[in-house]
Amino acid sequence: MTGTIRAHLMPLVWESDFFALPSARLSFRDDAPVLTSEALTAYAVVQAKVAASDLAMIDALSAGGFQLAESEVDFCLPIDSVEPVLPAWRVADTADIALLRDAASRVFSQSRFRTPWYHAADSGRFYAQWVENAVRGTFDDVCLIAHDEQGAPLGWVTLRQTQTDQARIGLLAAWPGTSGGVGMRLMALARHWCQQQHVAHLWVATQLGNTRALRLYQRAGAQIHDTAHWFYRRPHDSL
């Protein structure tokens, strides 16, 4: 092993049950024990999220058998008092769950929950569950649907208040088959919700390769705050 990794293994109970794969995430601390292959073999998947600037840790993880799964960019949008122009919208309820699940499973079929660590259908299944949970008030606090004049859905955004003056977008997506400015309408909805909750800053993360989302958030006024890489390791990968 080229570099020493000091980290606690934090079991991911919900993900372990959902994917039927014992999973954990590394929590890096200088006073944590040195990571060993024996400790890692208790889990089918071990995740590590590392700042893109932490090259020493990236090298150590790579030397320890971890593989890059995805890179992400985290944005922060200051919320001002200017009321945005809103599309027609409503708060999603349980009657919307079936359609939202189907849409989410198609829109989010590619993510960090991908092969070879997960099954091909797991990503869509995970985000279908996410949007259902958001409607029910878990995972996220609320799911807002933008729709046309006839009531047909155009897209949705889920949000949660993480602190008194901070909130984060969980999922934001245009409905499959729609096009033409849906993203900005959803950002207007998110901004409006934040104003109602007296939130000062709205956060949202997206995949580095999702250039459409990167452009959307920058066009909406958000600024890049951080970049990170997700690394995964399976038991048979070397340490």
List, for residues 17-61, the tens digit of each pLDDT value. 999 999 999 999 999 999 999 999 999 999 999 999 999 999 999
Query: Distance between CA atoms of 145 and 91, rounded to whole angstroms?
Result: 6
Q: Look at residues 118, 113, 26 and name the one whose alpha carbon lies nearest to residue 65.
A: 26
User: What is the tens place of the pLDDT at every residue in 115-159?
Assistant: 999 999 999 999 999 999 999 999 999 999 999 999 999 999 999
CB atoms within 10 A of CB 87: 19
217 is catalytic: yes
Greater model confidence, 237 or 116? 116
Q: What angle do CA 91, 129, 96 make, to 5 degrees?
A: 35
Residue of 162, 151, 207, 212 lying closest to 187 (CA atoms): 212
Q: Which CATH architecture has domain 80-199?
A: 3-Layer(aba) Sandwich (3.40)
> Residue 39: what pLDDT?
94
pTM, two decimals, is 0.93
Q: Which is the catalytic residue, given 43, 118, 127, 217?
A: 217
List b or e across 101-115, with b for residues whose CB sees 16 or more CB atoms inside 10 angstroms.
bebbbebbeebbbbe
Q: Where are the domains of the chain?
A: 7-71+228-233, 80-199
Count Cβ atoms within 10 A of the Cβ of residue 179 and give its class: 0-12 exposed, 13-18 middle, 19 or more buried. exposed
